[in-house]
Structure 1
Amino acid sequence: METYLRQIPAVNKILAEEKVQELLKDYPRTLIVDSIRGVNEQLRERILAGKLSSDSELAINRVVELLREKVKGWSEPNLRATINGTGVVIHTNLGRSLLAESAQQRLVEVADNYSNLEIEVESGERGSRYDNVSELLTYLTGAEAALVVNNNAAAVLLALDTLAKGQEVVISRGQLVEIGGSFRIPEVMEQSGAHLVEVGATNKTHLRDYEAAINEETALLLRAHTSNYRIVGFTKEVALEKLVKLSNDNNLAVLDDLGSGTLIDFSQYGFELEEPTVQESIEAGVDVVTFSGDKLLGGPQAGIIVGKEEYISRMKKNPLTRALRVDKFTLAALEETLRLYLDLDQVVEKVPTLRMLTLDLQILADKADKLKEALAELNSNLTIEKAEGYSQVGGGSFPSERLATYLIKVTVPGLTANQLANRLRSLNPPLFTRIQDEEIIIDLRTVKEEQISIIVNHFNKLLEGEGE
Structure 2
Amino acid sequence: MPVHGTPVDSQPSATPDAVPSRSGLAALPSVDRLLALPQSAALIELHGRTRVVTHLRRSVEARRAALNEALQAGRELGVSDDGAFVATAAAAIEREDQPRLRAVYNLTGTVLHTNLGRALLPDAAVASVIAALGAPTNLEFDLSSGGRGDRDDLIDGILTELTGAEAATVVNNNAAAVLLSLSALAYRREVVVSRGELVEIGGAFRIPDIMARAGARLREVGTTNRTHPTDYTDAIGERTALLMKVHCSNYAISGFTRAVEVQELVPLARQHGVPVAVDLGSGTLVDMSRYGLPHETTVAETVAAGADLVTFSGDKLLGGPQAGLIVGRRDLIRKIKKHPLKRALRVGKLTLAALEPVLKLYRSPELLPQRLTTLRLLSRAPAEIHAQAERLAGPVAAALHALLPGEALTVAPMPCHSQIGSGALPVDRLPSYALCVTPASGKRRARALQAVERLLRGLPRPVIGRIANDALWLDLRCLESEHETAFVAQLQATTQSESRR
TM (norm. structure 1) is 0.88
Gaps of 5+ in 2: 1-20, 68-72, 403-408
Please state whether the residue corresponding to 1:401 is helix, strand or coil: strand
Alignment of 1:418-429 (within 5 A): 418-429=450-461
Alignment of 1:51-200 (within 5 A): 67-200=89-222
C-alpha deviation, 1:379, in angstroms: 8.4
**Structure 2: how far apart are the matches of 1:193 and 1:386?**
53
**Structure 1: how far apart are the matches of 2:417 and 2:37?**
54
**Structure 2: how far apart are the matches of 1:456 and 1:267?**
34
Taking structure 1 as reference, are residues 315 and 39 closer, same or farther at Cα in structure 2, changes over 3 Å only? farther
Query: Which residue of structure 2 lines up, in the alignment, with residue 457 of structure 1?
Result: 489
**Structure 1: how far apart are the matches of 2:391 and 2:128?**
33
Alignment of 1:406-421 (within 5 A): 406-410=433-437, 416-421=448-453
Query: Which residue of structure 1 lines up, in the alignment, with residue 345 of structure 2?
Result: 324
**Structure 2: how far apart are the matches of 1:155 and 1:204?**
27
Query: Which residue of structure 1 lines up, in the alignment, with residue 419 of structure 2?
Result: 392
Which whole-Å deviations, capped at 9, do the CAs of 1:308-345 have from their partners, x for residues lacking one? 00100111111111111111111111110010000111
Greater shift, 243-252 or 263-272, is seen at 263-272
* Corresponding letter in the other structure for 1:315: I
Residue 310 (str. 1) matches residue 331 (str. 2): yes
Larger Rg over CA atoms: 2
Contact 1:151 1:301 in 2 (8 A): yes
Greater shift, 6-15 or 16-25, is seen at 6-15
C-alpha deviation, 1:69, in angstroms: 3.4
Query: Which residue of structure 1 lines up, in the alignment, with residue 12 of structure 2?
Result: none
Which of 409, 426, 431 is matched with 2:463 structurally?
431
Taking structure 1 as reference, are residues 410 and 216 closer, same or farther at Cα in structure 2, changes over 3 Å only? same
Please state whether the residue corresponding to 1:445 is helix, strand or coil: coil
* Corresponding letter in the other structure for 2:53: V
Alignment of 1:342-357 (within 5 A): 342-357=363-378
Query: Which residue of structure 2 lines up, in the alignment, with residue 442 of structure 1?
Result: 474
Which of 13, 29, 32 is matched with 2:52 structurally?
32
Which of 354, 378, 385 is matched with 1:333 structurally?
354
**Structure 1: how far apart are the matches of 2:84 and 2:411?**
38
Contact 2:201 2:249 in 1 (8 A): no
**Structure 2: how far apart are the matches of 1:37 and 1:256?**
60
Gaps of 5+ in 1: 48-52
C-alpha deviation, 1:161, in angstroms: 0.6
Residue 288 (str. 1) matches residue 309 (str. 2): yes
**Structure 1: how far apart are the matches of 2:400 and 2:454?**
20
C-alpha deviation, 1:26, in angstroms: 1.9
Please state whether the residue corresponding to 1:345 is helix, strand or coil: helix
Query: Which residue of structure 2 lines up, in the alignment, with residue 402 of structure 1?
Result: 429
**Structure 2: how far apart are the matches of 1:133 and 1:145?**
10
Contact 2:139 2:151 in 1 (8 A): yes
Please state whether the residue corresponding to 2:289 is helix, strand or coil: helix
Taking structure 1 as reference, are residues 157 and 376 closer, same or farther at Cα in structure 2, changes over 3 Å only? closer
**Structure 2: how far apart are the matches of 1:205 and 1:440?**
42
Query: Which residue of structure 1 lines up, in the alignment, with residue 285 of structure 2?
Result: 263
Please state whether the residue corresponding to 1:226 is helix, strand or coil: coil
Contact 1:260 1:296 in 2 (8 A): yes
Query: Which residue of structure 2 lines up, in the alignment, with residue 383 of structure 1?
Result: 410
**Structure 2: how far apart are the matches of 1:438 and 1:114?**
53
- Give the percent of matched residue pairs that are identical in Structure 1 and Structure 2: 42
**Structure 1: how far apart are the matches of 2:76 and 2:217?**
62
Which whole-Å deviations, capped at 9, do the CAs of 1:343-395 have from their partners, x for residues lacking one? 11111221010111111122212222221244467688763211111111111
C-alpha deviation, 1:227, in angstroms: 2.7
Greater shift, 327-336 or 12-21, is seen at 12-21
Contact 1:423 1:462 in 2 (8 A): no
Contact 2:225 2:256 in 1 (8 A): yes
**Structure 1: how far apart are the matches of 2:178 and 2:79?**
55
Contact 2:293 2:379 in 1 (8 A): no
C-alpha deviation, 1:265, in angstroms: 1.7
Please state whether the residue corresponding to 2:243 is helix, strand or coil: strand
Taking structure 1 as reference, are residues 58 and 292 closer, same or farther at Cα in structure 2, changes over 3 Å only? farther
Contact 1:89 1:357 in 2 (8 A): yes
C-alpha deviation, 1:90, in angstroms: 0.6
* Corresponding letter in the other structure for 1:460: Q
Which of 280, 301, 304 is matched with 2:322 structurally?
301
* Corresponding letter in the other structure for 1:290: T
Please state whether the residue corresponding to 2:431 is helix, strand or coil: strand
Taking structure 1 as reference, are residues 435 and 458 closer, same or farther at Cα in structure 2, changes over 3 Å only? farther
**Structure 2: how far apart are the matches of 1:356 and 1:449?**
11
Query: Which residue of structure 1 lines up, in the alignment, with residue 70 of structure 2?
Result: none
**Structure 1: how far apart are the matches of 2:134 and 2:456?**
35
Q: How many residues align?
A: 460
**Structure 1: how far apart are the matches of 2:56 and 2:253?**
56
Query: Which residue of structure 2 lines up, in the alignment, with residue 50 of structure 1?
Result: none
Greater shift, 323-332 or 24-33, is seen at 24-33
Which whole-Å deviations, capped at 9, do the CAs of 1:108-134 have from their partners, x for residues lacking one? 222232222222222212211111111
C-alpha deviation, 1:233, in angstroms: 1.3
Query: Which residue of structure 2 lines up, in the alignment, with residue 221 of structure 1?
Result: 243
* Corresponding letter in the other structure for 2:316: K
Query: Which residue of structure 2 lines up, in the alignment, with residue 367 of structure 1?
Result: 388
**Structure 1: how far apart are the matches of 2:390 and 2:453?**
21
Contact 1:431 1:455 in 2 (8 A): no
**Structure 2: how far apart are the matches of 1:271 and 1:30?**
57
* Corresponding letter in the other structure for 2:418: S
Which whole-Å deviations, capped at 9, do the CAs of 1:281-301 have from their partners, x for residues lacking one? 101111100000110000011
**Structure 1: how far apart are the matches of 2:351 and 2:439?**
43
Contact 2:433 2:475 in 1 (8 A): yes
C-alpha deviation, 1:35, in angstroms: 3.9
**Structure 2: how far apart are the matches of 1:439 and 1:62?**
43
Cα RMSD after superposing both structures = 3.3
